[in-house]
Amino acid sequence: MFVVNSYSLAVIFCFITMLCWGSWGNTQKLAGKTWRYELFYWDYVIGMVLFAILLGFTMGSIGTEGRPFLEDLAQAEWGGIGSVVLGGVIFNASNILLSASVSLAGLSVAFPLGVGLALVLGVIVNYVGAPKGDPVVLFLGVALIVVAIICNGIASGRMRKSGDSAAQNRKGIILAVVAGVLMSFFYRFVAAAMDLDNFAAPTPGMLTPYSAIFVFSVGVLLSNFAFNTYAMRRPFVGAPVSYREYFRGSLPTHLVGMLGGAVWCLGTAFSYIAAGKAGAAISYALGQGAPMIAAVWGVFIWKEFKGADRKTNTLLAVMFLFFIAGLASIIASGGN
């Protein structure tokens, strides 16, 4: 399987993770013009599973280091598989809430608040579980990102909305916060099942990144029958939707959703691969710089802050600066 053997390459992989995690929401925005997010989410999960299989039989099956994808799956212990599946279940619950938040409050609000909060809590959880890097510099970077999140929250609150729009925005913010708390825990369950110290010759019974992302995606798919079915019947906004409506969707609409899942899966796989060299906390933290990418899309492409006053625009500019400074600190924390 392909293994990352340098910190600089691990950082590059983490940046790709950040781009993927911060960009998949665009597919929801595109599909959302004619497609409810609950229906979009089924295609998203299917795309995730299919891309995980593709990665397993390509990057996970080449090279001389580690174990090939199928061999690695066959030798994995059930305890490790269960831990990764649980990580997938936790992630799915949080991501459905995040998707609902995007549909209510917008990309530039849901991601900085939800994923930003997940970054802060997740770095603490992952560092305690597998300490690696300079903790002072690492948590300085996290603190800078907290300031960025606060700036985004204030900027969102300054946008003048009325009636149902204001109520939906508040609900979206609440859902983003709950999603962020849940999301902060999923990565640790996956990392615990992998031998992060030696992907080239992993401990027998443990998983490698390629088998882990496949098992993880299966956990997401299985839990989706419970979580997303409930969301379809008891939606956060709008009327209930049925599976009949899903099968009436056009092929291009389904493909957009699958593309979103594939993009997210690529980013997550690269994060797992990079964790072997960078450490779980740093790899997770860099990938969770995704809110900055999502905010760029939301502000500059989707115009979600169109008509904002000067103070709101200043807050957004400060948010971007603090995100960049925080990410730079996180990178520096693992460079020694």
In sequence order, the 6+-apart residues with CB closer than 8 A to the CB of 254 are 43
Cα-Cα end-to-end distance for the chain: 27
Residues of the domain holding 179: 5-158+165-333
Q: What is the pLDDT of residues 18-69, one digit of tens each?
A: 899 889 889 988 888 888 989 999 999 999 999 999 999 999 999 889 999 9
Percentage of the chain lying above the pLDDT 90 cut: 49
Beta strands in 159-266 (DSSP E): none
Tens digit of each residue's pLDDT (9 = 90 or more) over 111-126: 778 877 887 888 888 8
Q: Which residues contact 34 (CB under 8 A, 6 or more apart)?
A: 253
* Cα dist from 100 to 74, 79, 182, 211, 255, whole Å: 37, 32, 14, 29, 20
pLDDT of residue 160: 53
Number of domains in the chain: 1
Measured distance CA(14)–CA(9) in Å, rounded: 9
Amino acid code (one letter) for 204: P
The one-character DSSP state at 202 is P
Distance separating alpha carbons of residues 215 and 49, to the nearest angstrom: 9
Distances (CA, A) of 309 to 147, 240, 312, 313, 314: 20, 37, 5, 6, 9
Torsion of CA 239, 291, 124, 334, to 10 degrees: 150
One DSSP character per residue, 225-253 reads: HHHHHHHHHS-SSSS---HHHHHTS-HHH
Lowest-confidence region among 31-35, 98-102, 142-146, 164-168: 164-168
Mean pLDDT of the chain: 88
pTM (2 decimals)? 0.85
Report CA Rg, the chain.
Answer: 19
The CA distance from 110 to 102, in Å, is 5
Give the integer Cα–Cα distance in Å for 169 and 305.
13
- Residue 258 CB burial class (10 angstroms; 0-12, 13-18, ≥19): buried
> Of 40, 43, 18, 42, which Cα lies nearest the Cα of 29?
40
Instruction: Please check whether residue 214 is in contact with residue 268, taking contact to mean a CB–CB distance below 8 angstroms.
Output: no
Which has more pLDDT, 284 or 72?
72
